[in-house]
């Protein structure tokens, strides 16, 4: 008899990802929502990965003010927490908190709007915060409006246990949810089908010194 009790199945080349729903963020979200909708009314949209919808310039600190600073403080705490865990997983002790160069922009999506597959180059972590998740997906469209994270290993998803190892992860927005993932990770947003506008903030955080 062949004994394989000591054989271990390991996971390698993993992609770090963190999600956290901030409690007690209603006053912050209301202030962010008001500022973002006002800015949308007076400024045209950028066109990057977004198909429809409105995307601000990456200058939210200039027109949101204090609420954006409050949110960035939470983001920095999450960046440092995730980075410490990443170093610990690798068996490294890098000391204190990392210094970050951060840029952020606002997004407003209405029915039919979505984002094409893309990455955020020249950054370390990327993040999304949902100020107002809008309406839940309608019946029969369980992933409508979901952010979709795609496996970076296309060779794997085409050849290796395709029904066992998923090639993408769907995450439905919820108000107060913050997501953190590596900026190299390809992602997209499924068409949103709600009536209430869905409002989010996106961030890029570049480790200093980089990389």
Tens of pLDDT, residues 105-122: 999 999 999 999 999 999
Q: By CB neighbour count within 10 A (0-12 exposed, 13-18 middle, 19+ buried), where does 78 fall?
A: buried
Nearest in space to 191 (alpha carbons), one of 138, 154, 120: 138
DSSP E strands in 63-197: the ranges are: 99-109, 114-118, 125-132, 147-150, 168-171, 177-182, 187-189
What number is the average pLDDT over the span 10-23?
Answer: 93
Q: Which residues contact 13 (CB under 8 A, 6 or more apart)?
A: 153
Q: Which residues contact 196 (CB under 8 A, 6 or more apart)?
A: 132, 134, 135
Q: Which residues contact 58 (CB under 8 A, 6 or more apart)?
A: 103, 104, 105, 204
Looking at 10-24, 64-78, 149-163, which range is the least confident one?
Answer: 149-163
For the chain, the C-alpha Rg in angstroms (whole number) is 19
The pLDDT of residue 161 is 85
Phi-psi domain of 95 (left: phi exceeds 0; alpha: psi -120 through 50; beta: other): left
Q: What are 132-187's pLDDT values in tens digits? A: 999 999 999 999 999 999 999 888 877 888 778 888 999 999 999 999 999 999 99
In this prediction, residue 98 has a pLDDT band, given cuts at 50, 70 and 90, of confident
What number is the average pLDDT over the span 41-57?
Answer: 95
**pLDDT > 90: percent of the chain:** 82
pLDDT at 29 over 90: yes
Q: What is the arrangement of strands in the sheet containing 50-51, beginning at the earlier edge strand?
A: 50-51, 114-118, 187-189, 147-150, 168-171
In this prediction, residue 15 has a pLDDT band, given cuts at 50, 70 and 90, of very high
pLDDT at 95 over 80: no
Pick the CATH number of 18-90+98-208 from 2.60.120.620, 2.60.40.420, 2.60.40.2230, 3.50.50.60: 2.60.120.620
pTM over 0.85: yes
The pLDDT of residue 192 is 98
**CA distances (Å), origin 65, targets 25, 60, 102:** 16, 7, 15
In this prediction, residue 14 has a pLDDT band, given cuts at 50, 70 and 90, of confident
Looking at 49-63, 85-99, 129-143, which range is the least confident one?
Answer: 85-99
Checking 4-8 for CB contacts under 8 A at 24+ apart, the result is none
What number is the average pLDDT over the span 5-29?
Answer: 94
């Amino acid at each position: 008899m062949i004994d394989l009790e000591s054989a271990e199945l390991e996971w390698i080349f993993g992609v770090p990802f963190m999600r956290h729903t901030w409690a007690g963020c209603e006053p912050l979200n209301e202030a962010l929502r008001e500022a973002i909708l006002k800015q949308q009314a007076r400024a045209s949209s950028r066109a990057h990965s977004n198909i429809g919808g409105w995307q601000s310039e990456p200058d939210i600190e200039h027109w949101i003010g204090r609420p954006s600073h409050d949110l960035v403080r939470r983001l920095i705490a999450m960046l440092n927490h995730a980075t410490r865990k990443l170093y610990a997983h690798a068996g490294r002790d890098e000391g204190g908190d990392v210094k970050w160069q951060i840029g952020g922009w606002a997004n407003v999506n209405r029915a039919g709007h979505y984002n094409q597959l893309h990455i955020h180059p020249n950054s370390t972590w990327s993040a999304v915060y949902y100020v107002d998740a809008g309406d839940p997906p309608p019946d029969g469209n369980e992933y409508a409006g979901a952010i979709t994270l795609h496996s970076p290993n296309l060779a794997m998803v085409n050849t290796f246990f395709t029904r066992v190892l998923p090639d993408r992860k769907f995450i439905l927005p919820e108000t107060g949810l913050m997501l953190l993932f590596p900026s190299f990770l390809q992602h997209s947003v499924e068409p949103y089908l709600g009536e209430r506008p869905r409002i989010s903030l996106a961030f890029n955080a570049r480790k200093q010194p980089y990389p």
